Structure 1
Amino acid sequence: MINQIMKVFVAVVEEESFTKAAQRLHMTQPAVSGYIRQLEEELDITLIERSTRGVRLNAAGDIYYHHAKEMMTLESRMQHLILDLQEETKGPVKIGASYTYGEYILPTMLAALVEKHPKIVPEVHISNSATIMNDIRSATLDIGIIEDEIQGAKVNMTRLLKDEMHVIGEAGFPDHPTHRSLREATWLIREEGSGTRSYQEQAFSHLDIQPKTITLSSTQAIKNAVASGMGLSLLSKHTINHELETGRLKRIEYNNVALDRHFYLLTPDVRYHSTSTLALLDMFNSMAIEHHEVFR
């Protein structure tokens, strides 16, 4: 079992304060300081640099923190798996989803999941594809859905759903623009690490343009910027249906350029999965392009 010293250390690092860590753990501040002092004495090395501006990890502290988090994640996973031996589908399932899938598709699936299994508790983390892949590798997440095929060890990956990407512009932009107008337009793109970003860059290659770009880390922000006339973008059909129906945005056609992609389903390469994870995987498999197999 993870000892109290490790839990205190992690709390101090994450709260960046001895006082806030004490409040989080319902302890006194001197008790927290005592645990950290005991840990540093046992290891015979300083882990946390103290100053009037707060606490800061040094190199040794950074190593201890990351390994402590991995151990705490493993312990939590072990406890849930042991409880699963009661053969009741319940408990948490940690899901990491890219912005497009997580915000526009996943909520409907989760509603169906908890209706069928009321004791399942989904915990959703919305992030870009690269971050989700890293969290699946470390088994911090039980299930991941990303927008780009990223190969990696310790990960099971299958195609989940086909998606269509469309060039969009504000309502007054020409329906059939010239190549020059596309080249001279400003394009709104997602941040590095985003699955959508890689397909936006592919679109530039297909269109044979190297336009001026503005990076925004939110699909909603991109849609608002395009609708206000800042430029063009390439986004998933799932994210723009409402705006196309209301006329706030329009789909731009040029030489029948079309880009399709897939959403990918990920699970960590581990020996056991919780019953709540398996229940969600069964739901994904009922509509997936490729069946996702895991140990049961």
Structure 2
Amino acid sequence: MSDFRLKVFLCVARNLSFTKASRELFITQPAITKHIQELESLYKTRLFERLGNKISLTPAGELLMEHSERILDDYKRLDYEMHLLHNECSGELRLGASTTISQYVLPPFLARFIEKFPHVSLSLLNGNSRDVENALLEHRIDVGMVEGIIRLPNLKYATFQKDELVAVVHTRSKLAKLDEISVYDLYNIPLVLRERGSGTLDVLETALLANNIRLSDLNVRMYLGSTESIKLFLENSECMGIVSVRSIARELAAGLFKVIDIRYLEMQREFSFARLQGEESGLSQVFMQFAAHYNKKL
């Protein structure tokens, strides 16, 4: 229902590349150019400055980008709410989610989605972020929810929630007497971390490298395959763990764990939907719209 030209323009504006927009939208580059030219003719102004092989937005282009994002979001919300009037969705939806998301984020969404769309059959594949992305590439799931910062070129990502990693110890640990440490203190502290391929470890490695610290230089006692395993390990050791703050809310409230601030170590990340490039409709889209709608109410 929405003006496809706005979608084309927004894709070019975000990528600042006609070629990338062509690949992302699966239409030819001449078609991309035609849609942009139609918009420029309609508004009697140039939307992009062309400097050799590079382009940039003109002031008019920046204004149109701002409005296009809002207009296309409104169209998505309209489609979503019109479908809600009839609960008309049915069929099979195969989801995949990283361990942290499947345990601490997704269950409330699933419960409400099933309640709203009782005729949709849901299944969930659980693994680390690399497992979920591979399942998408192999067409074993329809939509994935992943963490971390690594992006695969054949997949399309959309931010769903923000998250933060924190350093945590059990309150019985000797380390619990600390309130704050320097990032360089990590050389001497025994650590228990998530396994290779997890989004959690990806974010930690990137944050360490920003401080010229390699993960291999640290005293990692154990790599474990789930946050729950790390929490149980911490209860019986003098180690420090790095986990999502969402995963320890109950333990913090109960006084079982303590967060230790690490100076100069920024460990922000995003939870994202992941799909195969070019897949825009169907139950996957309905689920993502539902989750985004629910998330805004939190």
After TM superposition, the score normalised by the length of structure 1 is 0.62
Quote the offset at 1:287 in angstroms. 5.7
Percent of pairs identical after alignment?
A: 23
Task: Indicate which of 176, 179, 194 corresponds to 2:179.
Answer: 176
Q: CA RMSD in A?
A: 2.5
Distance in 1, Cα, partners of 2:259 & 2:280: 45
The letter of the residue matching 1:244 is L
Quote the offset at 1:256 in angstroms. 6.0
Residue 259 of structure 2 is matched in structure 1 by 251
The letter of the residue matching 1:263 is F
Distance in 2, Cα, partners of 1:266 & 1:88: 24
Residue 29 of structure 1 is matched in structure 2 by none
Q: Gapped runs of 5+ residues in structure 1?
A: 1-86, 290-296
Residue 32 of structure 1 is matched in structure 2 by none
SS in 1 for 2:177: coil
Q: How many residues align?
A: 202
The question of whether the paired residues in 2 share the 8 Å contact of 1:170 and 1:250 is answered with yes
The question of whether the paired residues in 2 share the 8 Å contact of 1:137 and 1:153 is answered with no
Distance in 1, Cα, partners of 2:201 & 2:99: 12
Structure-2 change in CA distance of 1:147 and 1:104 (3 Å)? same
Q: Gapped runs of 5+ residues in structure 2?
A: 1-86
SS in 1 for 2:131: helix
Task: Indicate which of 222, 228, 240 corresponds to 1:232.
Answer: 240
Quote the offset at 1:190 in angstroms. 1.1
The letter of the residue matching 1:127 is G
Per-residue CA distance 1:165-184 (angstroms, 9 max, x = gap) = 11111214223355575322
Alignment of 1:286 with 2:293, yes or no, is yes
SS in 2 for 1:100: helix
Q: In terms of Rg, which structure is larger?
A: 1
Distance in 1, Cα, partners of 2:155 & 2:262: 38
The question of whether the paired residues in 2 share the 8 Å contact of 1:159 and 1:288 is answered with no
Per-residue CA distance 1:70-122 (angstroms, 9 max, x = gap) = xxxxxxxxxxxxxxxxx941122111100111111100001110111111121
Quote the offset at 1:152 in angstroms. 2.5
Structure-2 change in CA distance of 1:125 and 1:218 (3 Å)? same
Structure-2 change in CA distance of 1:255 and 1:270 (3 Å)? closer
Residue 185 of structure 1 is matched in structure 2 by 189
Residue 261 of structure 1 is matched in structure 2 by 269
The letter of the residue matching 2:117 is H
Distance in 1, Cα, partners of 2:253 & 2:212: 26
Residue 99 of structure 1 is matched in structure 2 by 99
The question of whether the paired residues in 2 share the 8 Å contact of 1:133 and 1:150 is answered with no
Residue 197 of structure 1 is matched in structure 2 by 201
Quote the offset at 1:203 in angstroms. 4.5
After TM superposition, the score normalised by the length of structure 2 is 0.61
**1:81-230 equivalence runs, <5 A:** 88-171=88-171, 172=173, 173-176=176-179, 178-179=181-182, 182-205=186-209, 206=211, 208=213, 210-213=217-220, 214-230=222-238
SS in 2 for 1:253: strand
The question of whether the paired residues in 1 share the 8 Å contact of 2:149 and 2:202 is answered with no
Structure-2 change in CA distance of 1:272 and 1:181 (3 Å)? closer
